[in-house]
Amino acid sequence: MKITELSIVFVLIFFPLFWIISLHTQDAEEAQYLGQRYRAALQTAVMDAGAVMHQNEKQNDEAGYDSTKFVKADKELALLTFTQTMALNMGIQDDPAAIRNMFNYIPALVILDYDGYYMLSTETELTGNREDSLRQVWSPKKPYTYSDSNGSSINFTLDDYVYAYDANAGKWIEGFQKELAASSQIPLLQNTSVFEQVRQSRIVTTVQDDLADVINRHNEFARKNGISYTFTMPLIAQEDWYNSINDTGIMAFIQGIGVGDQKINNYAIGGGRLVKKTAIVGGVDPLTGIKYYYPSTCGNGYRAEEVFTDARQAAAQGYFEYKCSNR
C-alpha cells in the first residue's frame, strides 16, 4: 500500500476520533467557563442577600451589637435581592419565565438566623391548575434543638446563649451557658468545652438532615417539570459547615444545569454581616402608591420592590427619598 493510501486510511480512521475529542474538549471548556460564571453569580447573590437580610428591632439603631440576637432576618428582602442578583448575572433580569425556571435548578435556600433557621423549598400548592401547583415556600423558623436522656432540652443559638428546659427543676431558663452552669442541673451546661462541641455539631446536623430531605423532595418536583437530573446533597467540607454557623448568613445551591455533556453543581455560603454597607431598598407606599427609597435598616412597612447599591441609583429609577427619622 502506498504512503498516500496509508495517509488516507489514517485520516478516515482517526479524524472522527479527533473530531469527537475536540468537541468534548470544547464542551469541557465551556462547562468550566459557565461553571465559574454560575459560581460567581451564586456567591455574589448570597453576599448581596446577606447584606440586606437583617433589620433592627430598634429602628433608630444601626446593626452593631455584639450579638445578632438583636436583629431579625428579613427573608423576603433577602430572597428578592438574591433573585435580582442571580437574574442580572445570568442575563435574564427581564424574563420572568426564565427567572421562574431558574428556581427549578435551585433546590433550596437556607437562612441561618441567630436562634433558628429558615429553608426555602419547592412545595405543592393545591390550586387545581397544574402549571401553578408548585411554588417556592419558606418554612417556619426551625430552632437548633437538643434534648438529653433526662428530659431536659436546649434551644441553641449561634453563640453560647441558650433557651433551655430544666427537667429536674421543671421550668424554662435562658441565659449564657457559663451563667447557667451554677444554677442549672442540665449536664450539658456544666462543661464549656463539651457544650461548644455539641452545640456546633447539633446545629450542623440539624440543617444537614433537613436540607437532604428538601433536596430529595425537589427531585419529584423537578421530574414534573421535565428535568431528568437527580439532585443530591452537595459535598460540603465540615470546616465550611462550622464556619457557616459562626455568624448569621445564607446558603444557596444550584445544580443540574446542562452544559454540553456536563452538569453544573455549585453551592455558596455568605455571612449576614460580611458586608457592612447598608443596601438601599426601593419600596411602594401601599396607601398612596408612591415609590420611595430608604436604607434596608428602616422598618416602614412598605412593600419592597427593588434593591440598589446607592441612593443615586434608586432616584434614577423614579424613587423618592424616605427619611426614616421622620416616621
Instruction: Give yes or no: residues 93 and 155 share one domain.
Output: yes
Residue with cell 464556619: 243
Domain check: are 281 and 263 in the same one? Answer: no
Cα–Cα distance for residue pair 209/206, rounded to 1 Å: 5
More confident residue, 10 or 244: 244
pLDDT score of 57: 43
Residue 195 shares a structural domain with residue 178: yes
Q: Of 254, 276, 298, which residue sits at a domain end?
A: 276
Considering 276, 292, 317, which residue would you say is the last residue of a domain?
276
Mean pLDDT of 153-169: 93
Through-space distance between the first and last CA atoms of the chain, rounded to whole angstroms: 94
Instruction: Reply yes or no on whether the pLDDT at 100 is more than 80.
Output: yes
pLDDT band at 275 (very low <50, low <70, confident <90, very high): very low
In the block, cell 423537578 appears at: 222
- Within this chain, do residues 103 and 189 fall inside the same structural domain, yes or no? yes
**Is 250 in the same domain as 322?**
no
193 and 293 inside one domain: no
Share of the chain above pLDDT 70, in %: 74
- Domain check: are 182 and 267 in the same one? yes
Predicted confidence (pLDDT) at residue 235 exceeds the cutoff of 90? no
Average pLDDT, the chain: 79
Residue 292 and residue 249 share a domain: no
**In a shared domain, residues 271 and 125:** yes
Report d(CA 12, CA 55) in Å as an integer: 68
| Statement: residue 115 has pLDDT above 50 | yes
Q: What is the pLDDT of residue 274?
A: 38
DSSP summary character for residue 37: H
| 221 and 307 together in one domain | no
Q: Looking at the structure, tell me whether residues 77 and 211 fall in a common domain.
A: yes
pLDDT at 129: 59
Give the Cα-Cα-Cα angle 186, 192, 193 (nearest 5 degrees): 120
pLDDT of residue 135: 80
- Looking at 240, 256, 276, the residue that finishes a domain is 276
- Nearest in space to 233 (alpha carbons), one of 253, 212, 217: 212
Q: Quick one: which of 27, 36, 30, 32 has its CA closest to 89?
A: 36
Q: Which domain holds residue 29?
A: 3-276
- The pLDDT assigned to 29 comes to 67
Q: Assess whether pLDDT exceeds 60 at residue 195.
A: yes
- Are residues 323 and 260 located together in one domain of the fold? no
Does the reported pTM lie above 0.75? Answer: no
- Whether pLDDT at 79 is above 90: yes
CA–chain centroid gap for 293, Å, is: 25
- Across residues 210-221, what is the average pLDDT? 88
Residue 44 and residue 42: Cα distance in Å, rounded? 5
> Which helix (H) or strand (E) segment is 117 a member of?
strand 116-124
CA geometry: angle 196, 245, 157, nearest 5 deg: 60
Structural contact between residues 200 and 157, judged by C-beta atoms closer than 8 angstroms: no
Q: How many domains does the chain have?
A: 2
In this predicted structure, the answer to whether residue 21 has a pLDDT above a threshold of 70 is no
The stretch 151-175 carries a mean pLDDT of 93
Q: What residues have CB less than 8 Å from 219, skipping those under 6 apart?
A: 230, 231
Average pLDDT on 54-82 reads 62
Q: How far apart are CA 137 and CA 68, in angstroms?
A: 25
